[in-house]
Structure formats: C-alpha cells, structure tokens
Amino acid sequence: MAELSYREAVAHGIAQEMRRDPQLVMLGEDIASAGGVFKTTVGLLDEFGPGRVRDTPISEQAILGAAMGAAMTGIPVIAEIMFSDFLAVCWDIVANQMAKSRYMTGGQVNIPVVIRTANGGGSRFGAQHSQSVENWCMMIPGLKVVAPSTPADVVGLMAAAVRDPDPVVFFEHKSLLATKAEVPDGEIVEQLGEARLVREGSDCTIAALALMVPRALEAADRLAGDGIAAEIIDVRSLVPLDTQALLSSVAKTGRFYTVEENPRLCGWGAELASIVADEGFWNLDGPVVRITTPHIPLPSAEALEDMSLPTADRIYETVRKTMD
C-alpha cells in the first residue's frame, strides 16, 4: 500500500487501464510532455509514447470530436477538458452527440469515452474557471457522472469509467489535488453507482461529493462533541445514483442533509432531496436541508470565495441549528 496524492492517483489510475488495454488512448491539451496543467498525467508519455498520449490544439470541440470519432470505431478514449467550465464550449458534442448515440442507433454504436475535467472552486481561479458543473451533466440522459473524493476512489472509479461502454464525465476536484491518502497495491476497480459510507451515525445523514466530503467529515467530528452522531455518505456517482444507500441511511437516522458545491438552483442535492421526500418521507423526522453555494458567479477574491463555498463551519452550524 502506497501513499499517493490525488493528482498522482489520476496518473496511476490511467496507467493501470492503459496497461490493461493497449488500444486505450488519451487526448488533451498539454497532457503529454508537460504532464498536464495540473500535473495529473506526469509519466504517461514516457511509458506509453506519443501514439497513445496525444497533445491537442486548444479546442475543446476538436478534442471531443476526435474522441467520439475514435470511440465510434471501437477505440476507447480518455479525453481531458482542462477546466469543467469549458464543457460549455463543446456541450453539443457531449449532450447531443455522445450522450444520444447509443439510443439513436438502437444500441449499434457505443461511445467508450471518459471525459476527465478539473472541477470546483477554492483555488482562486475566478468565475470562469471555478464552477462545479456536475449538475449540468447529471441532467443529460445517456451520460454517467462521477466525482471521487479520495486518491483510492480516483483509481477505482477511473477503472470503472474506462471499462464502461458509455460516455462518463469524470470530475477531478482542483482543491483536492494535493491531498494524500493510502492507495492499495494491485488492480483497483470500483463500481459506478455505488455510494460509500465513510462515517456511521444515528442522528442525521449528510450526503456530500468531492471536496465537500472531507468538510462534512470535519463538521461531523465537531457535531460528535455536541452529542450528534452524523452519518456521512460520499455519493461518488451521481449517474447512476445509489438511491438505496441514501434511503437506507435516512431510514436509520430520520434526518437528511446535502452538502453541494454547485449553486443552489437546480443543484444535484435537489434531486436527492426529491427522492428522499418521495420514497423516504415517512422515515423523516424533519425537513430535508440543503447546504449549498449561493446562486452567484464564484468570486475570485479569497475572502469572498471562502464565504461562498460550504465550509465545515457552515455545515456544523446548519446541522446544529436544525437538529435543535
């Protein structure tokens, strides 16, 4: 077992799959000799060569257009969009072409593409480079959506995404890149659509994703000091979604909170809240509570950005107040 940073785990997970499948290729800006703008692809060019790790022009449409074309011929592709905000530039290819090809060909054409992209705030990149846009992708039928919070999950979910026959959007959180944790030796393969119970509790359930998972855990430590046992669920996969894990937890705790980095309006937590209200209503002892970023462009000013994003303090205070 080795300790890896989140960014090292990205390269580790990609390498695991490229060794397994000699057809798998990578496309993206500065992913080859530069090792990626976030240094998440360091070493891949040296091991797999320029035929499989290919730098592209600064054109999101070109990257995903080439990826889709290759995938339609049976070549699996990992394509990097440098910032998740830039999915807006190539959204037609993602939402209207990749997501719908299997359906519109009656299952004759699969699109085995993993779209890797750096997501989320906290790194002072400003409103056009700091958005959390997983809810954009969650709403499109035909896309699968994952967002790991730990290095081990980066590796395991990367394997699951690459081996899936459908397009998967793989969100890597920029503010988690430097975090470190142990990653088991050998091949790691997770399942899409499985949430992870990261802390057991009996008084309330907190569902979180990516950067919000360690913040929810920090808040849970403080809540424990007040006699509140919070159960923390790392959602990990938004599509497919592990509704059973959420409903089972709510049946035990009677309270449900979501911690979302995306803006409040139409955030992914609204869908989770709807599911819990529809299917777990009689298990609830109080209203579902969503802890979110306000519906604003994310500020680049340090103090304002920190004020906008959900923090461990805000999670603690919200849960403490509503539980009272």
- Using DSSP's 3-state secondary structure scheme, residue 231 falls into strand
Helices (runs of H) and strands (runs of E) counted in the chain = 12, 14
Which residues touch 38 (CB under 8 Å, ≥6 apart)?
7, 118, 172, 174, 177
Between helix 212-225 and helix 312-323 the angle, nearest 10°, is 50
Integer Cα distance of 255 and 46 in angstroms:
50
Enter the tokens of residue 83. 């910032």
Question: Do 159 and 190 meet the contact criterion of CB atoms below 8 Å apart?
Answer: yes
* Contact (CB, 8 A) for 161 and 147: no
Annotation marks residue 129 as catalytic: yes
DSSP code of 205? E
Task: Give the residue among 149, 144, 148, 117 at the shortest CA–CA distance from 133.
Answer: 117
Catalytic residue among 12, 129, 173, 295: 129
Handedness of CA 167, 132, 150, 260 (dihedral sign): negative
Residues marked as catalytic: 129
